[in-house]
Amino acid sequence: MSTDVVEQVLADIPAERMPRHVGVIMDGNGRWASTRGEDRTVGHSRGADAVRRVVRASRRMGIEALTLFAFSSQNWDRPPAEVFHLMQLLRRYLFEERREILDNGIRLTTVGEVARLPLFVRLPLTELISASADNRGMNLCLALSYGGRETIIEATKQICREVSAGKLRLEDIDEDRFGGCLPSASLPPMDLLIRTSGERRVSNFFLWEIAYAELYFTETMWPDFGREDLTEAIVDYAARERRFGKTSVQVAEDADQREVVEECGEAPSLQKAESESESGSRTSHAHE
């Protein structure tokens, strides 16, 4: 699929049907290498190239937030040599992509137990997070030493501590309050979750956050995943009807109401401005 074709396909998708937040479970590096008679580390290295392609493509598509499941809490149980190689790849990525991240206004954030990462990774990671903190382009979130169950447990502990200390009433605990205790609280709701390599499970990733996300599974191994594959996932997402518990009729009615509001949006805004102006004038005369 050529660049022109990709751009035309994306241009045909209404803005309201584009996902704001995309998550990716990057799977298949080891199997990609095994099928080629290569060591698993070769697959991870090629997977790092796929990260570069997908980050660049996501930014150009206007995606607001991209979360990559880079290293899970359970990945620490892999052979030490493989873990070390993954940490080296992460360090290299941070140095090699630093300029592109900063020059393109990308904000780097993380979720997970970053303190468990080796110092030679934490130092460049925290430096780039700090350097990109004021950027207002795409939010690139790396899930590192991350587990969905683990984050839910930590959020629960935080809520319990606040209740125990008298800072929070049980009656005040709701979805918003609980979600605000998760490390993903600053991100938009996840709209689309992609998993590569043909596996069809979420593997302890963003368990709370994907409650209403659309799930997309592809047979493509992560090292082969690129702009065209991401485009196919977004086209599939855009064609789905997201009901959030409502009926199709209700969804259609809501869409019609939004169109009416958008068409008439300028008039109410003008009336509001005039009303505020008149109110301000009356207040001014009253003070006089």
What residue segments make up the domains of the chain, in order of their start?
Answer: 3-240, 250-287
Catalytic residues: 27, 75
The burial class, CB within 10 Å (0-12 / 13-18 / 19+), for 267 is: exposed
Strands of the chain (E only): list them.
21-25, 65-72, 107-111, 139-146, 192-195, 214-217
SS3 call for 27: coil
Per-residue pLDDT, 8:
80
The pTM (predicted TM-score) of the whole model is 0.85
Q: In what order do the strands lie in the sheet with 192-195?
A: 107-111, 139-146, 65-72, 21-25, 192-195, 214-217
Residue 121 is given by DSSP the state H
What b/e readout covers 14-31, taking b as 16+ CB neighbours within 10 angstroms? eeeebbebbbbbbbbbbb
Give the Cβ contact number of residue 220 at 10 Å: 20
pLDDT, tens digit, 9 for 90 and up, residues 78-122: 999 999 999 999 999 999 999 999 999 999 999 999 999 999 999
- Take residue 154 and report the two structure tokens written for it: 């930590």
Strand partners, 139: 65, 107
pLDDT on residue 275: 47
| CB 59 within 8 Å of CB 137 | yes
Q: Tell me which fold the domain 3-240 belongs to.
A: Undecaprenyl pyrophosphate synthetase (3.40.1180)
> Can you read off the two tokens belonging to residue 213?
């996300």
CA of residue 163 relative to chain centroid, distance = 30
Cβ–Cβ < 8 Å for 74, 143: no
C-beta contacts of 60-64 below 8 A and 24+ residues apart: 61/10, 61/18, 61/230, 61/231, 61/234, 62/18, 63/18, 63/19, 63/20, 63/21, 63/22, 63/138, 64/20, 64/21, 64/138, 64/139, 64/188
Taking CA atoms, 270 is separated from 150, 231, 283, in Å, by 49, 39, 20
pLDDT value of residue 284: 40
pLDDT averaged over 10-residue windows placed end to end, the chain, 288 residues: 74 93 98 96 96 97 97 97 97 97 98 98 98 98 98 98 96 96 97 98 98 98 97 96 80 74 59 46 39
